[in-house]
Amino acid sequence: MDLAAYAMRPATQGDFADLHAIFTHQSVSPYLGFEPCDAEAFQPIFAEQMAEGHLVVREGADGRVESVVKIIPNGRRRRHVVYLGSLAVHWEARGRGVGRAFLRDLMTLLQGDGFSRIEIQVAGDNLKAIAFFKSFGFEIEGTHYDYFCRADRPGELFNAHFMAWLATRAR
């Protein structure tokens, strides 16, 4: 995977502060698998993110991380499938096409590496993200009902959509 060709790189320990800021921001955290937290509580989450898959970042002109994604390739009979998780864009970079460029380049990179199916999971109430991914040709393949909860809304359960992009259906 030639990340450098797309101005991407693997995340490092030096990205901790930037990723903590992105992942715990009020516009991102409701849609991830963990609650907003201080830096100390984020340490094990960061370690888990780094260990579970390939955490990839792209920096902005100022050198700060402005977009991030966790890439988890499958193997064997599903070696053509890759899962993208924790895709997020720094709140100050939104509305400037940063996320669109990041996903476009990421999809080009992944297709070049032989992946013909890209899977994601999106919170059912994250309408902007659903529309964003649909604009790239992702389709909702199913819904996980009452799939997750949020600490700030006790007693409420939320749905998640399983979405996928398939090269055989690409427009």
For residues 19-32, average pLDDT: 93
Phi, then psi, of 52 in degrees rounded to 5: -70, -30
Task: Read off the pLDDT of residues 101-111 as tens digits, 9 standing for 90 and up.
Answer: 999 999 999 99
Task: Read off the pLDDT of residues 81-121 as tens digits, 9 standing for 90 and up.
Answer: 999 999 999 999 999 999 999 999 999 999 999 999 999 99
SS3 13: helix
Instruction: Check residue 51 and give its pLDDT.
Output: 86
| 136: pLDDT strictly greater than 90 | yes
Residue 72's domain spans which residues? Answer: 3-169
Q: Please count the structural domains in the chain.
A: 1
- CATH number at 79 reads 3.40.630.30
Instruction: Check residue 1 and give its pLDDT.
Output: 81
